[in-house]
Amino acid sequence: MKKAARFWVAGLLFVSLALVMLGCGAGDTKGKAASGKDSNAAKEKLVVGTDATYAPMEYMDKKQNIVGTDIDIVKAIAKEIGVEVEFKNYGWEPLFPAVSNGEVDLAVSSITITDERKQEHDFTDPYYVAKQVILVPDDSRVEKFQDLKDKRVSVQINTTGHIVTKELLGKTSSKIVAAETMPLAIDEMLNGNADAAVGDNSVVNDYQKNNPNKSLKVIEDDSFEKEYYGLMVKKGNKALVDNLNKGIQKIKDNGVLEKITGFEVE
Ligand code: ARG
């Protein structure tokens, strides 16, 4: 009797193990066409990483859904190239290794295409144009970027705002307050730990408009260059870049991109 029971337990274990292995196999071979990993599959799902703290570009709505302009843009691209997309919130800094190690197929996060980033990652064609701006209290005497020369400036860490601020204040300046997210960088300015916050106009303008009670003003400066956002993929994944570019071109041509962003991207 005991022996028989053991036989059945072993048998059951064997069968479930086989089923699990079968399941994994099926998952692995399912549609990898768009990501370029395998070309003979139908509808692929791309996993898209983001830092959903960047309203109105990518953020969490009240129901904890990842939403925003960037999200709408990726959904529109996905529709054009016939793939499904699933968004995952990674935070800003972890996003870069998540793309490199293949945890996500691509990242959308208002990521400016820069030469330095191009060494580690590949980018699609630009789909959005932005610029740095300065956010200060209404009564601040700051008028231009140079005026921040001996001031404390808050930024989101390792963003282009951080880079331009390092150029102004010095790479290791203790006057740079580098926060993990843009909202935290703005908080540093609001609580007086920084005289100004520097970040993308797409987000800073929105914050100022939606928080009239905080009495803030946004300063533009001609010394800031235009920045172009791209979708970021793992270095060498040309098939995916090509496919995404096709989608980007389509939504530029059919006016969908302009409808989402409100302006034309050259
Ligand atoms: N455009 C800037 C950069 O690429 C800031 C992007 C930050 N994006 C975000 N979701 N936090 O460095």
The Cα 105–Cα 46 span in angstroms is: 6
In 84-192, where do the E strands start and end? 84-89, 106-107, 121-123, 128-130, 132-137, 153-156, 176-179
Q: Looking at residues 64-88, what average pLDDT do you find? A: 98
Decide if 130 contacts 124 (C-beta within 8 A). Answer: no
Tokens of 205: 């303008």
Pairing assessment for the beta strands 227-229 and 128-130 based on DSSP bridges: antiparallel
What is the best residue among 95, 157, 200 to mutate for testing ligand 1's pocket, by most ligand atoms within 8 Å of CB? 200
Q: Name which CATH class applies to 44-129+228-261.
A: alpha beta
Kindly state the percentage of the chain with pLDDT values over 90: 82
pTM of the predicted structure, to 2 decimals: 0.85
Report CA(107)–ligand 1 centroid distance (Å).
Answer: 11
Q: Looking at residues 233-259, what average pLDDT do you find? A: 98
What are the sequence ranges of the domains in the chain?
44-129+228-261, 132-219
With the C-alpha atoms ordered 131, 254, 35, 69, is the resulting torsion angle positive or negative?
A: positive
Q: Is 75 helix (H, G, I), strand (E, B) or coil?
A: helix
Which pLDDT tens digit goes with each residue over 187-196?
A: 999 999 999 9
Could you write out the three-class secondary structure of 133-144?
EEEEECCCCCCC
Query: Which residues have C-beta atoms less than 6 Å from ligand 1?
Result: 51, 54, 58, 92, 109-112, 156, 159-160, 182, 200, 227
Closest ligand 1 atom to 109 CA: 10
Report CA(79)–ligand 1 centroid distance (Å).
Answer: 25
Report CA(102)–ligand 1 centroid distance (Å).
Answer: 20
The answer on pLDDT for 201 being more than 50 is yes
Fold: same for 44-129+228-261 and 132-219 = yes
3.40.190.10, 3.30.9.10, 1.10.10.60, 3.30.70.120: CATH of 132-219: 3.40.190.10
Q: How far is CA 232 from CA 7, 11, 14, 45, 98, in A?
A: 53, 47, 42, 16, 11
Which pLDDT tens digit goes with each residue over 22-75?
A: 444 433 334 445 555 554 455 699 999 999 999 999 999 999 999 999 999 999
